[in-house]
Structure 1
Amino acid sequence: MKKFLKYFGFLILLIVFYFGATTYPKLDILSGFAAKSVASGHFIDRRPLEVIQQGDNDIDLVRLASIDINKESKFATSSVYGLKKRKAIYREGLGATLVTDDYDETQPYLVPKRTKLETNLPFPYGDQNQKDTVFPEVDYQKLKKAVADAFDKPGFKTKRTRALLVIYKDQIIAEKYENEFTKNTRFLGWSMTKSITATYFGLLQYQGKIDINKPAPVNEWANDERSKITLHNLIQMNSGLEWEEDYGKISDVTKMLFIEEDMAKIQLEKSAAFEPNTHWNYSSGTTNLLSGILRRQFKTHREYLDFWYASLIDRIGMHSMLIEPDMAGNFVGSSYGWATARDWAKFGLLYLHEGNWNGEQLFDKSWAKYVATPTPTSNGEYGGHFWLNAGGKYPDVPKDMYFCGGFQGQKVIIIPSKELVIIRFGLTEDEDFDFNGMMKGVIESIK
């Protein structure tokens, strides 16, 4: 018996040691993810905690987190076995922000000025219902099946699609939502937000206020090899800067999103590992650096906040959209954009129409071509903050297809040759969801 207890005690020590060595250092990130996810999902989209836990937080290790919501003071807290408690606060007009213990929650803050367009036009250019349009070239039964096949059958939990929206020639020809989700649900786009962030450089270039081919306006790089990095390099993510984008461990990206106060600084402070334009390296830090660079273009923080909405988001009627800031007040342009599927679709339509929104040109036509041009060394998979099919990743889809892509398979798909925009929200990536088959089915339903 004593020998058993001795071995049992030794086993417990090994388990504790293993936990301490492998999991404990991640607890800041695990509880941070859980708190932020719940604060955003609950206060932005009014999702019940159980829906968030069974969906958004249904991720390995994140499931270990315990959550509390303070509805009166509008914040969420999380910890794992009572360890590493984290807090995310919600502020109306800004969304949720993960904060540290020394963050002053009583400090005053600015909220972006929002302008709602009032038009008598149907979707997508207004809030009125679209006119009933039947396209003779669309096989609606075939389309209906393609859409239905993207969702799980009752009792299954594999495809995990939450929303699918198909727009052809500016008309919604198919729209389906899972269970509690509707056309009014605001979805987190995760890295789809990157494509929005990059678009502001297209807007500024069209206005003659910035030249993406010039060195990035980062004073901290002026006297070293990083001075050769252009905005173009940053937008194509081939700046040569060091960066580790690994969500399975403590890495640059997880520290940035769940620990750092100023997310615009972490990439800025990285050393150059390669010459610009020689190594493509996907980096959320680069996008948040671009957000910080945008902030430096304005004299005041108010101007920076308002610009994101007035120049693009509200300008094309994406009134449900909310982009959340970090503790330092930077929009987290890499990851934290929320909007309804229909409003995300408007962003896709803006690109489908090469920057023209109901007769008004927001960026030059060449910008749409630019973002869909492959970045060197990306094997045709990535362009200017958009993912591409130029390399034929999806074999049954035209190669001119390009898309905004986010964690767990969020997609705004643009297929210019087919006049299509397809929106998909869910909880599964390419490994578990047949995106090629879904797009093929939609495309084949149109003769």
Structure 2
Amino acid sequence: MKLLKRVLLLLVLIIGVVVYLNYPKLNIISGYAAKNVASGVYVAHRSAASMNQFDNKAPLIELASTELDESKQAASSTVYGLMKRTAVYRDGLGAVLVNDDYDSTKLTIRPNRSKTMDTIPYPYGQADPLDTILPEVDMDFINKAVAMAFANPETQKTRTFLVLYKGHLIAERYIDGFDKDTPILGWSMTKSVLATCFGVLEHQGKLEMDWPAPIAEWKDDERKNITLDHLLRMQSGLEWDEDYSSISDVTRMLFLDSDMTKAQKDKKAIAEPTEIWNYSSGTSNLLSGILRQQFRSHQEYLDFPYAALIDKIGMQSMVLEADIAGNYVGSSYAWASTRDWARFGQLYLNKGHWNGEQVFAPEWVDYITTPTIHSNGTYGAHFWLNAEGKYPDVPKDLFSCNGYEGQHVFIIPSKDLVVVRTGLAEEPYFDVNGILSNIVKAVP
């Protein structure tokens, strides 16, 4: 009996230590689960059961239990009954994790949208894509690439796949539960959408990339020399910890902060601008706050990405989610259908030209695809690059929007290609080089 009591006491102590060490993480775990389910249900129109079974089936996150409150359009999660977190849906602004200070009546405005139907075939309009046979395309290679993308569903976890060639839809496939209209969370592909807003403003003559970042708190210290260009290239020299496996700068920002534009702004400089390259979602949300400063009212800020970019090119499914303070979460929270993500890629393939209008200057593409020093040729300005041949069997002019768990919009100008892949797993489970190399072989 004494031995049994000692063993039980030891187990209790071990459990106590584990709970003590991990209790702060429960806030992040339940917050992630609640936010993901609320967005999945009310933005992507999926079931809570599907979100819990697949999207929240990840290490630690799967420990959370989530329930919906349909009357409030909200989702609440706990971990073994502990650390309850709730996310609520707001029309036009997506879902947001709330806290005790949240006032549902405070933020009543929403972005104005312009969703007009037309008879122009996809991708330039809302009509069905043309049923076009392009004799120069070797469909055997295309079909092989698509088959490869879905060959191992348990490990690859590909959900959607689409190929545009010269603006023609030549391949498209979806798993059960997803179709051409299902919004997909882009995660960090959102960064590229945010950056494009700055490209639009530059084209309109309203700002320049070499302007100092308009942050009052920086004007009298070493951060005063940080420019918009430094921020877009992730080379500001500011301290930041982008670790999703622990309580870090990025997880605190995404799952605890009411105003996500402040997290990076309050960090000290650890290097001079351009001395280091340090990937930072906090920088993207700081840029979202700077974008807001360009407008006289909150309403104008909310409207701008849609009026100047998203609705202009027909990305009618896209929703940019905002934090409690009403700032777009430019680091992580844009949802759009696979076809609409492909429209975004086509806009860049067209160097900003869309249906007779120049959305941003052609030179903007040159800017965002110029490699940033210290990034080993993998990063430009909020876009990823293949400049140093990360994908050895794919042209080096490839650039892309990349997001957590393998969300991708690949743009290959030399081959007139846009490829979109979404899913729940990334390299090495999803063979980007092998799949893209087959698509490249299929076209002249």
TM-score if structure 2 supplies the norm length? 0.98
Counterpart in 2 of 1:241?
238
Corresponding position of 1:15: 15
- Matches for 1:5-404 after TM superposition, within 5 Å: 5-21=5-21, 23-152=22-151, 156-404=153-401
Identity among equivalent pairs (%):
54
Match of 1:444 among 435, 438, 441: 441
Stretch deviating more after TM superposition (405-414 or 66-75): 66-75
Amino acid in structure 1 at the alignment position of 2:123: P
Contact 1:398 1:415 in 2 (8 A): yes
| Residue-pair matches, total | 444
Distance change in 2, residues 1:209/1:402 (3 Å): same
Report the AA paired with residue 273 of structure 2: P
Q: Output the CA distance in 2 between the equivalents of 1:329 and 1:85.
A: 23
- Do 1:86 and 1:99's aligned partners in 2 also have CA atoms closer than 8 Å? yes
For structure 1, the residue ranges without an aligned partner over 5 or more in a row are none
Cα distance per residue 1:280-329 (max 9 Å; x no partner): 00000000000000101111100100111101000110011000000110
Q: Counterpart of 2:2 in structure 1: which amino acid?
A: K
Q: Aligned to 1:113, what secondary structure does the other structure show?
A: coil
Partners in 1 of 2:18 and 2:80 — Cα distance? 16
Preserved contact between residue 194 and residue 287 of structure 1 (Cα < 8 Å): yes
Deviation of the 1:435 alpha carbon: 0.8
Q: Aligned-pair distance for 1:108? A: 4.2
How far is the alpha carbon of 1:74 from its aligned partner?
0.3
Provide closer, same or farther for how the CA distance between residues 374 and 108 of structure 1 changes in structure 2, counting only shifts above 3 A: closer
**Structure 2: distance between partners of 1:301 and 1:217:** 17
**Alpha-carbon separation, structure 1, partners of 2:340 and 2:306:** 13
Consecutive unaligned residues in structure 2, runs of 5 or more: none
Per the TM alignment, residue 54 of structure 1 is displaced from its structure 2 partner at its CA by 2.0
Q: 1 CA distance for matches of 2:79 and 2:248?
A: 20
> CA RMSD for the aligned pairs?
1.0
Question: Normalized against structure 1, the TM-score is what?
Answer: 0.98
Q: CA deviation at 1:179?
A: 1.1
Amino acid at match of 2:39: S
CA contact (8 A) 2:34 2:86 kept: yes
Task: Give every structure 1 segment of 4 or more consecutive aligned residues whose post-TM-superposition deviation is greater than 3 Å.
Answer: none
Correspondent of 2:421 among 424, 428, 433: 424
CA contact (8 A) 1:152 1:158 kept: no
429-438 vs 417-426, which deviates more?
429-438
Given that residues 156 and 426 in structure 2 are in contact (C-alpha distance below 8 angstroms), is that contact kept between their aligned partners in structure 1? no
Letter in 2 for 1:19: V
The SS at the match of 1:33 is helix
Shift of 1:362: 1.1
